Amino acid sequence: MFDFAQQIRDFDYNGLLPTAVDAENYALVLTIGVARMLAGGVAAAVLTYAGILLLAWVGFWDVQRHEDVDLEEKVMTWKQVDVSKKEKNSDFTGPRLECPVDMSRFEMSNFIMDPKDKPLLHMLMAMVSILVPMAALVYILFIHANFYVACAYGFGVFQFVRINFFMHGMLHFRHFTSHRPLFQSRLLRLLPSIFLDPIMGIPPLVFLLHHPLMHHLQNNGPYDISSTEQYDRDSWFALANYWFRFQIGAYIELPYYAARTGKCAWFFATVTVIGGFFFLLQHMAERYSGWATFCVFGMPWLLDHATDAVRNWCQHVFVAQQSHVPMETFFERNCALAYNLVDSLENRTQYNEGYHVIHHAFPKCHWSENPDTFYKKVEELSRYEKDLWLLTFINSSIWEVWCHVASNKLPQLVKNHFVHIPTAARPDPPTIGEVVKELKARLHRVDQVAEKVDSQVALMTP
């Protein structure tokens, strides 16, 4: 008779599977192994969330030091700030900081579709030449070297390099190459998704369904499982619920979304890939090393997913009710669900993703052209007859915006970072109090109309 308790006592913590087991009990033992990995993942997720809270507390402490604000004071208007001139905006004049090493000496431009995508190519080359060999060394050390030396390298050196120099670059590399193909060859376009997505903790091909085919087509609406509209977005509890759904529930809801919207091929592909990915991880844990598998694939799944979830939450924290703002054009709709960051360090480290209204309104616009497109829209809005809010913050970040929201310090955010984009309907700058009132209204749950959206918005360009 199979002794479940004995199997757990005999558990091999290096292999993450029992040391010896009869073939007839393999299915149950495999279940034990998967359960152990999930339990470890939950524990690591708790630690990750604790780390996020600690960082948030540090951010709140910095926010709390800001001075009191006169709500009757007028906000900055676009013409008053230096960044209204492109030569004063570091998004145009500053160096690109996405790639941690200089890969420009390796010329491979003949393989890519657009010469402006060299920074993306350099990031890919850096990942292949640095991160992949480091990941392979993690397995070698856990299999052949001293356990504590392997832990020091895997959970210390490898994670330090991956998180500090590659994590954001990898996520945004996948982001923008999912909108515009990097390579001319169809085969080369698939290789990063198949071989590099797992190092980011993402099953191959899943990001393509999750982001361009769901998040952008549904545009933060009811059918978008990463939508922030159904939450009160000034609540940490709501963020925790959103994070859990984004990180865990997506693996159930993504196939459901594909089936619900008639994407049958994507449904079967997603189910197959997700199941195969986690089965492969379990096999690698059994065959080689569970600790190495957790270090190379499990930690990115926890940290990168958590980061991506919080990032999407922060980018779509200000969402207007459909009945309160103009919604006749696609650009107007996107002005109601995001904001722009101008002259922000994030734009030079994350391929100008701070121009998030522009990115959602024109997903096929090249990432290097987002700032120019923003300036063109500002010029157009000066002749706009509707009372449209193009929310814009200067010299800030999405994390700083969220820290102000969560600490109830919106007046400080508006005074120090908000800039009014004038329209013909509202040429004069509002008061800080008026902007705070508008921002607070955009933090409440949105009344949703559950209509499937499957248009060609992903093909739109300025």
Q: How far apart are CA 165 and CA 99, in angstroms?
A: 8
Q: Structure tokens of 141? A: 């050390």
Tokens, residue 327 = 């919604």
What DSSP character marks residue 348? H
| pLDDT band of 321, cuts 50, 70, 90 | confident
pLDDT of residue 226: 92
Burial class (CB in 10 A: 0-12, 13-18, 19+), 202: buried
pLDDT at position 58 over 50: yes
- Percent of the chain exceeding pLDDT 90 equals 52
Task: Give the residue with greater pLDDT, 127 vs 458.
Answer: 127
Residue type for 281, please?
A: L
Give the three-state DSSP class for 77.
strand
User: What is the C-alpha to C-alpha distance for residues 63 and 401, in angstroms, rounded to an integer?
Assistant: 10
pLDDT tens for 43-57 read 555 555 555 555 555
pLDDT for 40 equals 53
pLDDT value of position 210: 92
Q: Domain residue spans in the chain?
A: 4-59, 70-84+320-442, 117-315
Angle between helices 250-260 and 264-287 (to 10 degrees): 160
CA distance 171 to 230: 25
pLDDT score of 54: 58
- 197-215 mean pLDDT: 89
Q: Provide, rounded to the nearest whole percent, the portion of the chain with pLDDT above 70.
A: 82
Cα–Cα separations (whole angstroms), residue 452 to 134, 173, 230, 260, 449: 44, 29, 16, 9, 9
Average pLDDT in the 189-211 region?
Answer: 87
Count Cβ atoms within 10 A of the Cβ of residue 181 and give its class: 0-12 exposed, 13-18 middle, 19 or more buried. middle
Angle between helices 299-315 and 26-64 (to 10 degrees): 40
Which helix (H) or strand (E) element contains residue 376? helix 370-381
CA proximity to 455, closest of 333, 373, 340:
333
pLDDT, tens digit (0-9, with 9 covering 90-100), for 244-259 = 888 888 889 999 999 9
Tokens representing 72 are 């009757």
90 pLDDT more than 50:
yes
Higher-pLDDT residue of 122 and 7 is: 122
Q: Is the pLDDT of residue 155 over 90?
A: yes
CA distances for 454 relative to 193, 270, 307, 309, angstroms: 24, 19, 28, 23
What is the reported pLDDT for 248?
86
Lowest mean pLDDT among 113-122, 176-185, 316-325, 434-443: 316-325
| pLDDT (0 to 100) of residue 195 | 83
96-110 residue pLDDT tens: 888 888 887 776 778
